[in-house]
Amino acid sequence: MQPKILFEDNHLLVVVKPQGIPVQKAESSNDDFQSILKDYLKKKYMKPGNVFLGIVHRLDQPVGGVMVFAKTSKAASRLSEQIRQNIWKKCYLAVVDGVPDQKSGILEDYLVKNEATNEVYVSKKENPKAKFARLSYETLETSGNRSLLKITLETGRAHQIRVQLSSRGFPIVNDHKYNKNAKLGSNIALWAYSLEIEHPVTKEKLVFSEEMPENMGLR
């Protein structure tokens, strides 16, 4: 695989993650995205030995789109701190089954992850394992009984967008975990469209985006 590079310097590697590939595997492998990118850097710069490439955020395996990796430990630390301070701005596009009653809105929930099944569900605030989740959405287009939504994440919980939309009767098209009508062999209609960060060294604001692939289920 030849990765699509959106930006690269001595500190950052910004790429488009393909759908269906895990960001990282627990065991040594060469078919996860981090390993593919490490191999790209190793060959490009003819580096001997192991190549450092820090993961500072993740996308679910079925989801594709813009991702940022750190090429140094200092960059990784500073980017992680930006995430903790909520400096990053993440925007997604999703095609859902159904048409929301309100064209735009804010969704707030408390989510719990079942580690055994790798599934997330909406819970009560009182649950000690529950984590607060918040996003805003805007309906960009509708076609039949499907809608294209622009989603801005304000928290970064596991499966957050997928669970929050599904819990309100608007599951993402071809989400095999949270949409009972998902078609086998089809990609989930969720895409990491844009990402705004602060450069870990220069402090410059950087915005990266990649258009959603065609034929993701709106029509």
Return the active site residues. 60
Which sign does the torsion angle of CA 2, 62, 184, 92 carry?
Answer: negative
The runs of H, that is alpha helices, within 115-205 are 160-167
**Exposure on the CB side of residue 171, measured as CA atoms within 13 A:** 12
- What separation in angstroms does the CA of 42 have from each of 23, 38, 62, 66, 108? 18, 6, 26, 21, 43
Q: Which two tokens stand for residue 180?
A: 């009972």
Checking DSSP bridges between strand 64-70 and strand 190-198, what pairing results, if any?
parallel
For 19, other C-beta atoms within 10 Å of its C-beta total: 18
**Exposure on the CB side of residue 84, measured as CA atoms within 13 A:** 6
Checking DSSP bridges between strand 190-198 and strand 205-209, what pairing results, if any?
antiparallel
